[in-house]
Structure 1
Amino acid sequence: IALTGVGLRVIDVSNVIIRNLKINKVLADAGDHIGVQAANRVWIDHVELWSDQSHDKDYYDGLLDLTHGVYAASITNSYLHDHWKASLVGHSDSNESEDKAIQVTYAFNKWQNLNSRTPSFRFGHGHIFNNYFVSNNDGINTRVGAELLVQNNVFESVKKPLYSTDNGYANASGNDFSGASSTALSTSWSSVGYSYSLTATSSVKSYVNSNAGAKLSF
């Protein structure tokens, strides 16, 4: 299924699965391509989200934003590309009381030709593993108290692959920064609350290129 100019809203609900969709060019007045708010147990898998960078950064909103205390959300095997503001987690520096509950996982996704928020976290916790980032202006941004576990990702042509703003933290291991480096403040946090297996960093690029996006056959 492909949607142009029309996005999805997931608000104050539980147990939601979104799979095998393509969504593009949702104008800012209509909101994000996919917007998740105050929801829990949300799985977004094998989606492709994009627009263009021919317009200014506010012509479109986010590709995939998760806000207002989203808990137990996972974004997997997806392709986010050609956009200004990719994925924001936590919408305001003044919303700690709600957003400290945030828990979001990104795994096996491809991020390409994006300007910022790849992703950007405020508060809460995030697990980012086995993603492939290529030709992005910005990298993972951990902000205002967020704690991230960042494992076995591959970055190519990304200026700031992992960095902090206003006391955000990351526990990073096994990443290939392609000659760049992490400048994020350090944390030992690793309690993601579920079991998982890491793909070797050397295999991430080929795996993600083969699998990310709306490629399922039902």
Structure 2
Amino acid sequence: MHKAGITALLAVGLTAATITGPVQAEPTVRPPQPQSREAATPSQHDLGQQVLSDSDGWASAEGGTTGGAAAAPENIYRVNTWQGLRDALGGDSARGDTTDRMIYLDSTVNANETTNGGLLTCAAYADPSYSLEAYLNQYDPATWGANNPTGPLEEARDRSNGIQDDQVRQYIGSNVTLVGVGDTSGIVNGSLTIRGSDNVIVRNLEIADAYDCFPAWDPNDFGGNWNSEFDNISIFESTHVWIDHVSLNDGENPPESLPTYFGQKYEVHDGLLDITNESDLVTVSWNTFTDHDKVMIIGSSDSRTTDRGALRVTLHHNLFENTGQRTPRVRFGQVHIYNNYYNETNEGGYYQYGWGAGKESEILAENNYFELGDGLEASALIHNWGGTMLEERGSFVNGSSKHQRVDLLAAYNTNADIPLGDSVTWDATHHERIEPTQSVPKLVLKHAGSGALE
């Protein structure tokens, strides 16, 4: 399923301090041919000029989503390095910036890339007082117990994480379109963060392996777990966001490849696409989410009641393949999930559930197709995280015909301690044609992900 052009960069060192090489020495930021504001209208062939259609999910409501289509010529960029991309987005001042910007990324860039063309590694980010070996010895539950890590070594881990954060996280401000050029454009080891922004479009990119060099041990997270900092894409406190034809994955570090410490997987990734903290009016369309455990959370915590009335999100025509959980997990939001293809082979044996119905969530799921591997049953596709309702219809499982549709909610409720109600309180009015379920796999496999746009 993965597109070409990213594999070579995925294999770069996470072992030595700095590797220099023939990467371009200076960031390149080149505006294409000047375009006037009058010319910034939807175009069939220029992805940067395309805007979200009037009925395409929640991001089309309440004014719609146009991204940087109104960018002035001096704010239209073509970039091919990580630093060039950061500069085009506004650099350290991008968060909160409202300048109309249109950015074309025409290569695969590595977020560990320095301005002189070298590649930083985990060793380069580490505080002198930190080492994984020392951390494992210090906070081993056999001797440390169930107490949260504290003291100089945990502080050194946190400082190390901050050093890496400064390099690999890039904010995206308001009124921005970021698109990949061709079928081999993307970002390796970076974390795109849309925070406090409005009117953002991200399309036609492969974003892989947002690798956290310094996971934190939490002994009280379901009996103990490693937690990481970076999402491939994070959406916080933002509105009118369209994520489209993006391939999101763990690159060369899928879940089954990770080591185990303290009896738990050493998790170096967080979410592929998380939507939290009062974000609202988001459309997630024609993307691929592959080879990852915790895919997408909508709503950050049960206690964040300010999320009530927000977190309206549409997911349609996405591929979820070889995932573990959270496809998505929802709190509070009104989430429309339709025409998605779930190909869950359970490779690696880490599959847990698909749709998570959390506190005050209202998921409406229509015409989704599931291909389940050995040992996975339809009843496992839903999990109740404190929710009360989930409306679902038109689901196919393992090639069922139109006369043998599977009632996933009924399958879940059969053995559920607390059954979910079958009707949400809202009507889905912001959507395009909902395709017959049996056509979903072919459509999604042909058209979803980066490089599929013409």
TM-score, normalising length: structure 1: 0.93
Give me the identity figure in percent.
28
Where in structure 2 are the equivalents of 1:20-169 lying within 5 Å? 20-28=204-212, 31-51=230-250, 52-53=254-255, 54-55=257-258, 56=265, 58-135=267-344, 137=351, 138-157=353-372, 159=377, 160-169=380-389
Instruction: Give the drift of 1:191.
Output: 1.9
Structure 2 gaps of 5+ residues are 1-184, 213-227, 259-264, 399-405, 413-419
* Alpha carbons 2:205, 2:451 under 8 Å: kept: no
Shift in Å, 1:34: 0.2
Judged with a 3 Å threshold, the aligned counterparts in structure 2 of structure 1 residues 192 and 203 are, in CA distance, closer, same or farther, namely: same
Amino acid at match of 1:35: S
> In the alignment, is the contact (CA less than 8 A) between 1:150 and 1:172 conserved in 2?
yes
- Opposite residue 14 of structure 1, the aligned amino acid is D
| Corresponding position of 2:116 | none
Secondary structure of 1:133's match?
strand
- The structure with the largest alpha-carbon Rg is 2
* Residue 201 of structure 2 corresponds to residue 17 of structure 1: yes
> Structure 1 34/57 Cα, relative in aligned 2: closer, same or farther at 3 Å?
farther
- In structure 2, the residue matched to 1:181 is 408
Instruction: Give aligned pairs, total.
Output: 218
Deviation at 1:167, TM superposition (A): 2.1
TM-score (norm 2): 0.46
The alpha carbon displacement at 1:156 in A equals 1.3
Shift of 1:189: 3.0
- Deviations along 1:123-148, one digit per CA (max 9) or x if unpaired, are 12100000000115221111111001
In 1, Cα distance between the equivalents of 2:272 and 2:211? Answer: 11
- Kept in 2, the 8 Å contact 1:38–1:69? The answer is yes
CA contact (8 A) 1:70 1:99 kept: no
Distance 1:4 1:111 in 2: 20
**CA-CA distance at 1:187 after TM superposition:** 1.9
Distance 2:382 2:354 in 1: 6
Query: 2:188 corresponds to which letter in structure 1?
Result: T
- 1:185 counterpart SS class: coil
Shift of 1:165: 2.1
Q: Look up the equivalent residue of 2:248 and give its one-letter code.
A: L
Question: In the TM superposition, what whole-angstrom CA distance separates every residue of 1:139-163 from its partner, at most 9, and x where no partner exists?
Answer: 1111111001100000111542233
The equivalent position to 2:391 in structure 1, one of 154, 171, 183, is 171
Question: Any gaps of 5 or more consecutive residues in structure 1?
Answer: none
1:200 corresponding residue in structure 2:
436
Distance in 1, Cα, partners of 2:309 & 2:424: 17
Query: Aligned partners of 2:310 and 2:452: how far apart in 1?
Result: 32
Deviation at 1:195, TM superposition (A): 4.2
Structure 1 residues 44 and 164: CA distance shift in structure 2, 3 A: same
What is the rounded CA distance, in whole Å, between the counterparts of 2:245 and 2:190 in structure 1? 18
Structure with bigger helix share is 2
Write the deviation string for residues 94-148 of structure 1: whole angstroms up to 9, x where unpaired: 0022354110110000000011111110112100000000115221111111001
Shift of 1:188: 3.5
Once the two structures are overlaid, the 10-residue window that deviates more, 149-158 or 198-207, is: 149-158
Q: Which has the higher strand share?
A: 1
SS at match of 2:442: helix
Distance 1:149-1:134 versus aligned 2 partners, 3 A rule: same
Which letter does structure 2 place at the counterpart of 1:181?
Answer: L
